[in-house]
Amino acid sequence: MHIVIMGCGRVGSTLAHSLQDSGHTVSVIDQNPEAFRRLSPDFSGDTITGVGFEQNVLLEAGIDRADAFAAVSSGDNSNIISARLARETFGVHKVVARIYDQKRAEVYERLGIPTVATVRWTADRVLRAIVPEGHAEIWRDPTSTVALIEVLVHPGWAGQRVRAFEDATGARVAYVNRFGVATLPTASTVIQDGDQIYVLVTDDLIPQVNKAAGTVPEGGH
C-alpha cells in the first residue's frame, strides 16, 4: 500500500515509521522542512515540503495512487480540508483526520471521515484504520476469560449481515460503530463499509476472528 501523511509532528513521524516497518510505501508532507528531522535516517519514503491541501503538493506525494491518507497536522482546518480533498477529489478510500475540537470531530465522523486525537493513541488508531490487520483489546473480564476487541473488517464484508460474521468467527458482535455512533446489532443488521466491529471473544477465537475479518467472506466482493 502507498500512504500519504500530512504532518510530520510526533504523530505523523511515528505513523510513518510504523507503516514503513510494515512494508508500506509512505510520503510525508509538511510546511516546515525542519519537521522532517523527526524521521530517522533509515526512513526511505518521500518528504514533500508544502501545504497539504494544495493539489500539486498532494500529487507530488502520490495521492493519485494512494491507498490511504492521514491528515495529522496541528491544525483542524488544514486536516479536514485536506482529508475532504483526498476523499472527494482524488477518491482515496481510507481517509483519517486528526481533529482537536471534539464537537467538530463528531460532525466529521457523521460525514464518514474518522477522526482521532492524542499522540500515541492517535498513531495506533490511524494505523489500524489504514491497515486493518489484527485487533485491539478494549476490555477483559476479571477472570481473563472473555475479552472485548475491536476489529476493522475487510471492505468485502459490506452488504453482509452481522449474523454471517458471527457464524464465520464463532464470536458475538457486541456493537457496531458507524460514523461515530455506536449501535447494538440485530439479526438483520447489515455491515457497511467503514464500520468498526466490536466483538466478544475468548482467546481461542481471536485467530479465527482476525482471519475472517481480514478476508473477503464467501459470497462477498
Share of residues in the chain with pLDDT > 70 (%): 83
Pairing relationship of beta strands 115-116 and 94-98 according to DSSP bridges: parallel
- pLDDT at 219 (0 to 100): 67
Are 93 and 140 in the same domain?
Answer: no
- pLDDT at 147 (0 to 100): 87
Tens-digit pLDDT profile for residues 160-173: 999 999 999 999 99
Tens-digit pLDDT profile for residues 152-198: 788 899 999 999 999 999 999 999 988 778 899 987 899 998 788 99
Rounded to whole angstroms, the Cα distance separating 26 from 51 reads: 17
Query: Does residue 19 lie within any of the structural domains?
Result: yes
142-162: b or e for each residue (b if 16 or more CB lie within 10 Å)? eeeeebbbbbbbbbbbeebbb
Containing structural domain, residue 33:
2-130
- pLDDT at 199 (0 to 100): 94
Judge whether 216 and 191 are in contact, CB under 8 Å: no
Are 88 and 170 in the same domain?
Answer: no
Are 73 and 151 in the same domain?
Answer: no
For residues 29-50, give the mean pLDDT. 95
Tens-digit pLDDT profile for residues 50-75: 999 999 999 999 999 999 999 999 88
Q: From 130, 155, 173, give the residue that closes a domain.
A: 130
Query: Does residue 148 lie within any of the structural domains?
Result: yes
- pLDDT at 39 (0 to 100): 95
Are 159 and 102 in the same domain?
Answer: no
| Total of domains in the chain | 2
- pLDDT at 187 (0 to 100): 76
Are 19 and 109 in the same domain?
Answer: yes
- pLDDT at 188 (0 to 100): 87
Tens-digit pLDDT profile for residues 68-117: 999 999 888 899 899 989 999 999 988 888 887 766 766 666 666 767 65
Rounded mean pLDDT of the chain?
86
- Tallying the residues shown for the chain, one arrives at 221
Rounded to whole angstroms, the Cα distance separating 134 from 127 reads: 11
> Domain with 89 in it: what CATH number?
3.40.50.720
Query: Does residue 178 lie within any of the structural domains?
Result: yes
Q: Which three cell numbers stand for residue 72?
A: 495529522
Higher-pLDDT residue of 132, 191: 191
